[in-house]
Structure 1
Amino acid sequence: MERRGFLKVSVAGAAAAAFGGASWLNAFSATAADGDGPYGPLLPPDANGLALPQGFTSRIVARSLEKVTNSSYLWHMAPDGGACYADGDGWIYVSNSEVPLIGGAAAVKFAADGSITDAYRILDGTNVNCAGGKTPWNTWLSCEEVDRGEVFETDPFGVNDAVARPAMGRFKHEACAVDPDRQVVYMTEDVGDGGFYRFTPSAWPDLSAGTLEIMVGPEDQTSGAVTWAVVPDPSADDDDTRDQVEGSKPFDGGEGCYYAGGVCWFTTKGDNRVWAYDAAASTISLTYDADEPLSGVDNVTGTSSGDLFVAEDGGNLEICVITPDAVVAPFVRVDGHDGSEITGPAFSPDGTRLYFSSQRGSGGGTTDPGMTFEVTGPFRA
């Protein structure tokens, strides 16, 4: 397929219902319009090094190897995928650690006024925990990005022990997105010919047993109908899961994954694309296929307004917004963090605060400490 600068949102009915009537139909065939986006242009970097639109402010909530405010927890190195959870009048932000051998995940607890009240580990002793996914029953699926890595179901509230979910497959996991409408979990695989997977639990929502499938379709297919086939051996004892099904569709470096309103959006960093899987129609399409302004697509999340927020691993270290009216524009840029990547974007339960990390901070090296930010402001409802 010839590379071209266009953005196309290709799902209408189901997504519109989930996003409060957002104009997905108008966006169906629109081309990208580079511009300031719905929040206006970025201002010069603030004291924390974030270039933000007018009306937005930032703070640093955690720095690697330093105690998180009002806690005894030293924030982990290489903060990666994250999610937010309601906790009484406050909320919790969960963050993975993409560190070899000790990996795991941790949580920061916030009071109703946004003050930090605690931080603690929720997963230990795992390996290169990259992204993951939030479940509707308020657990965090933390994924190991290593060959034959596993998914670990963890408790953001720090009460229950984490549990491995080997039935979900052993491969180089990146991200998960739960589809409660069909009672399945979608998963990406971060290799150059990675699969896009679907796990159906035997007894929803128990993830201890079930059926793992991989998407089937032509290698060069960018739109149209796709099918699914059962992966015979999810444990990958002899062959990698992506190699067990003839005709499985390869994706070039699967990254972030986000579900809403009948659609699962996922990113592939190798070809800088944002994909949409229409679960009801079992079709795929391209939501974004361009080289700028969004470059190095990675983690993705969304809002009730229908906006997608896509973080960059590379590029100029931005989180870009893709709107239902087919505009893609920078929302925030992290200044002076060359060599890092933006990870873990997630909104507070009320939608007024965005959390994310610069994984390697301003140093940019693999052993340099990262930092986790909060951005507050008038996000679109």
Structure 2
Amino acid sequence: MRLGRRSFTFGLTSLAFSGLALSGCAASRGSATALSEGYGPLREDPAGLLDLPPGFSYRVISSFGDPMDDGLRVPDRCDGMGAFDLGGGKVALVRNHELKPHHGDTGAFADAIARAGEGAGYDRGADGVWLPGGTTTLVYDLASGRVERQHLSLVGTIRNCAGGVTPWGSWLTCEEDVSRAGDGLGRDHGWVFEVPATAPGRVDAVPLRDLGRFNHEAAAVDPRTGIVYLTEDRDDSLFYRFLPLVPGQLARGGKLQALAFVDPALGSDSRNWSEVVLGVGQWADARWIDLDGTDSPDDDLRKRGNAAGAVRFARGEGIHYGDGEFYFCCTSGGAAKLSQIMRYRPSTFEGRAEEREAPGRLQLFVESTDGAMLNFGDNIVVAPHGHLYVCEDQYTAIVDNHLRGVTPEGRVYPFARLRVQTEPAGACFSPDGSTMFVNAYSPGKTLAITGPWGRFPG
């Protein structure tokens, strides 16, 4: 598998976190309520959008309804997003839009229905118009702070929630929907699609069927092996890995598996809802179960996997790779059902027969016991300076969502507060580490945040 400059930079970013995290493993034990002051108190935003610590600022670079360069408009419901190095200080952002079939009036074609038949797509509704879910791509100049171009890059899908960057320069966009063909839909949904970051227009929407059909949330790739790790947004979800036949060429197929515990005394439930299975900081050896019938027409893949011994997780959400390990959120995990952050460290022999003797390991890294600590963690990213950042997505009539930072010792702090009634989503960093990009979900906006990253007083 060939790794370019983007993946090399990403590996350095991840290494910073991994090294710090390893040194903080012992400190994270029993630190489920540990809080940090972070960068200091958040300052109230005069524009009423995003409160940030002293020294940080943001600019809105793209908004729902803005005209795009392809004659369409920026769709709403901006969710997962990935950043890619284009060289020369330019960054490509591939951004999900979590739109359902009835959201056509907030999709890219709302002001250009006559053009709905042009270009590539996956599935059309009963009216013949492409389903509005998909992705847009932005080219952003870090020096000028301007978007040079934005266009629709994938269309015809449903509820593109999260996803993940690949080391070979593409975005894996995931459908959080398992609708079947019929009732106005021409094709089955519940797939992962691949969008090259440099694609100048819409790409052919080819479902990566061997990655499974389920209520997908996010994906992350180990650049050393090409193995893809996948989360599922269900209360009884599984944690999956995909072993590709050819690393970097996912459409050529492979094998889908689900994580289980080696120790039978741990059972098959990591949620800690009724009893503590994993304590904060505790590690457990992992094994992987082969799955069959992964096209899952009855949406029962997770149930069949659990019956075979695979571990249940409480709504797997965002996942991100740090050098040598993965971090993923379980939105409703823990006794308080407020959030868990899991860490998976692959085996030296990951995906090979030898891993039985030296298995990968799963750790409960953080478990929230209070909404003021972490409240329904969703998207997650590893920052270049060595902290995690988690986007909250609360499920209450009135929300008070934050971006929460997590130190390598498992201490949580508020980094930003979204002042509008929606969720922050899609947090990711420019390859040079200077800028965090994040979305306000709806009405959709994409923000670029700059400041003294890494000069952490707390």
TM-score (norm 1): 0.88
- Matching residue of 2:109: none
Amino acid at match of 2:240: Y
- Checking the alignment, whether the CA contact within 8 Å between 2:229 and 2:241 is kept in structure 1 is yes
Is 1:150 the equivalent of 2:150? Answer: no
C-alpha root-mean-square deviation of aligned residues, in Å? 2.2
Deviation at 1:243, TM superposition (A): 2.3
- Matching residue of 1:323: 407
Is 1:186 the equivalent of 2:229? Answer: yes
- Note closer, same or farther for the CA distance 1:17–1:65 as it changes in structure 2 (3 Å cut): closer
- Checking the alignment, whether the CA contact within 8 Å between 1:143 and 1:150 is kept in structure 2 is yes
Deviation at 1:379, TM superposition (A): 1.1
- Matching residue of 1:76: 75
Match of 1:294 among 364, 371, 374: 374
- Note closer, same or farther for the CA distance 1:203–1:345 as it changes in structure 2 (3 Å cut): same
- Checking the alignment, whether the CA contact within 8 Å between 2:232 and 2:238 is kept in structure 1 is yes
For 1:121-136, list aligned pairs within 5 A.
Answer: 121-136=152-167
Question: Which sits farther off after the overlay, 275-284 or 205-214?
Answer: 275-284
Is 1:176 the equivalent of 2:254? Answer: no
Deviation at 1:142, TM superposition (A): 0.3
Structure 1 unmatched ranges of 5 or more: 1-13, 361-368
Deviation at 1:216, TM superposition (A): 1.7
- Matching residue of 2:59: 59
- Matching residue of 2:257: 213
- Matching residue of 1:137: 168
Match of 1:344 among 417, 423, 426: 426
Between the aligned partners of 2:37 and 2:299, the Cα distance in structure 1 is: 47
Between the aligned partners of 1:286 and 1:20, the Cα distance in structure 2 is: 15
Amino acid at match of 1:50: L
Between the aligned partners of 1:188 and 1:23, the Cα distance in structure 2 is: 22
- Checking the alignment, whether the CA contact within 8 Å between 2:97 and 2:134 is kept in structure 1 is yes
Structure 2 unmatched ranges of 5 or more: 1-11, 102-131, 179-188, 262-267, 271-276, 334-338, 348-358
Report % sequence identity: 32
Between the aligned partners of 2:406 and 2:70, the Cα distance in structure 1 is: 36
Is 1:236 the equivalent of 2:296? Answer: yes
- Checking the alignment, whether the CA contact within 8 Å between 2:13 and 2:383 is kept in structure 1 is no
Higher alpha-carbon Rg: 2
Amino acid at match of 1:187: L
- Matching residue of 1:24: 22
Instruction: State the Cα deviation string for residues 288-324 of structure 1 (Å, max 9, x = none).
Output: 1013321110000012322100000026211111011
Amino acid at match of 1:346: C
Q: Which is richer in helix?
A: 2
- Matching residue of 1:364: none
- Note closer, same or farther for the CA distance 1:21–1:167 as it changes in structure 2 (3 Å cut): closer
Between the aligned partners of 1:334 and 1:324, the Cα distance in structure 2 is: 24
Task: Indicate the SS of the match to 1:329.
Answer: strand
Between the aligned partners of 1:327 and 1:356, the Cα distance in structure 2 is: 22
Between the aligned partners of 2:19 and 2:258, the Cα distance in structure 1 is: 32
Count residues in correspondence.
356
- Note closer, same or farther for the CA distance 1:229–1:20 as it changes in structure 2 (3 Å cut): closer
- Note closer, same or farther for the CA distance 1:306–1:296 as it changes in structure 2 (3 Å cut): same
- Note closer, same or farther for the CA distance 1:17–1:63 as it changes in structure 2 (3 Å cut): closer
Deviation at 1:229, TM superposition (A): 0.6
Please list every run of at least 4 consecutive aligned residues from structure 1 whose deviation after the TM superposition is greater than 3 angstroms: 14-21, 70-73, 159-162
Amino acid at match of 2:135: A
Between the aligned partners of 1:138 and 1:41, the Cα distance in structure 2 is: 37
Task: Indicate the SS of the match to 2:23.
Answer: helix
Q: Which is richer in strand?
A: 1
